[in-house]
Amino acid sequence: MEAGKLRLYSMRFCPYAQRSRLVLSHKKIPHETINVDLKEKPAWFVERNPLGLVPVLEQDDKIIYESLITCDYLDEVYPNNKLNSEDPYRRARDRIILEQNAKVVTEYYKLLRCGADDKDILESYRSKVEPLEKALKERGNFFGGNNVCMVDYMIWPWFERLPVTASMSETGVDILPDDKFPNINSWIKRMLELEPVKETMFDAESHLEFYKSYAMGKPNYNYGLKE
Ligand SMILES: N[C@@H](CCC(=O)N[C@@H](CS)C(=O)NCC(=O)O)C(=O)O
């Protein structure tokens, strides 16, 4: 490995690894990526992260894992295009939004497994998104106001994947209707215009195909790659 070179251990469809990829892209940080087979984890990977999870960052003898921690680290070490606020109160409020997002993520996976046609699960998902809708209304175009901040990138991956659950609905349910979630819906459109999002994202069909392979116990980590 080249001295000083930053390396990301990733999996192409992992929403947590996408957090790190978004921050790397936002800050244009040179790095190399190693995509790991998470079904048959190599020993050298588990040596680096005993939890056996991606993302992992490595630079010389430094190893960092847990997506949010990798992103905070990158934001401090590469201070261009700052994502975390300098203001402690704002940073604290941002973390409160991320705690709320953790609840959104839990409900998202229930939607994915049980389907958006289950009214209770759908309502529960929406109720967890509501505080995010309210926060955006107060903050503006992005959670960072006029510009993206760490919160935008940390919560984006599960909104990018929302069309997967919608496409699996037999009744064609609108998961986040515009009359109740106008700010989140506009935010999704704005996020889709950002270069780091374009660079790291997959379309709904690819996410769906990967999810189907994952649900069958045979995750196709290479889906969409050319020979
Ligand atoms: N809390 C971790 C979660 C990361 C995570 O769950 N990654 C998944 C892929 S999306 C993984 O590595 N799974 C491997 C496994 O569970 O064995 C983070 O934020 O980095």
Ligand 1 binding pocket mutation candidate from 10, 16, 202 (most atoms within 8 A of CB): 16
174 CB less than 6 Å from ligand 1?
A: no
Residues 93 and 187 in one domain: yes
Q: Are residues 178 and 119 in the same domain?
A: yes
Give the total number of structural domains in the chain.
2
**Kind and range of the H or E run holding 31:** none
- Predicted pLDDT of residue 34: 97
pLDDT for res 172: 86
pLDDT of residue 169: 86
Last residue of a domain, one of 77, 105, 134: 77
Instruction: Compute the half-sphere exposure of residue 24: CA atoms within 13 Å on the CB side of its CA.
Output: 21
Q: What is the pLDDT of residue 160?
A: 98
Asked if residue 51 and residue 108 are part of one domain, the reply reads no
Whether residue 116 is found in the same domain as residue 175: yes
- Does residue 132 lie within any of the structural domains? yes
Is the CB–ligand 1 distance for residue 67 below 6 Å?
A: yes
pLDDT of residue 167: 87
Tell whether 210 is covered by a domain: no
Say if residue 31 is in the same domain as residue 109.
no
8: nearest Cα among 200, 187, 151: 200
Q: Is residue 95 domain-shared with residue 54, that is, in the same domain?
A: no
Q: Has residue 1 been placed in a domain?
A: no
* Same-domain check for residues 143 and 163: yes
pLDDT at 224: 95
Q: Are residues 188 and 96 in the same domain?
A: yes
Does a structural domain hold residue 214? no
Shared domain for 142 and 53, answered yes or no, is no
- Note whether 189 and 92 are same-domain residues: yes
- 181 and 134 in a single domain? The answer is yes
Torsion-angle region of residue 172: left (phi > 0), alpha (psi -120 to 50) or beta? Answer: left
Q: What is the pLDDT of residue 1?
A: 75
Measured from the CB, is residue 98 less than 6 Å from ligand 1?
no
Q: What does the pLDDT profile of the chain (227 residues) look like in tens digits?
A: 788 999 999 999 999 999 999 999 999 999 999 999 999 999 999 999 999 999 999 999 999 999 999 999 999 999 999 999 999 999 999 999 999 999 999 999 999 999 889 999 999 999 999 999 999 999 999 999 999 999 999 999 999 999 999 888 888 899 999 999 999 999 999 999 999 999 999 999 999 999 999 999 999 999 999 87
Contact in structure between 7 and 58 (CB atoms under 8 Å) = yes
* CATH assignment at residue 60: 3.40.30.10
- Asked if the structure places residue 163 within a domain, the reply is yes
Cα-to-centroid distance, 33 and ligand 1 (Å): 16
Q: Please, is 115 exposed, middle or buried when counting C-beta atoms within 10 Å of its C-beta (0-12, 13-18, 19+)?
A: middle
Flag whether 227 is in a domain: no
Structural domain including 176 reads: 88-193
- If asked whether residues 101 and 189 sit together in one domain, one would say yes
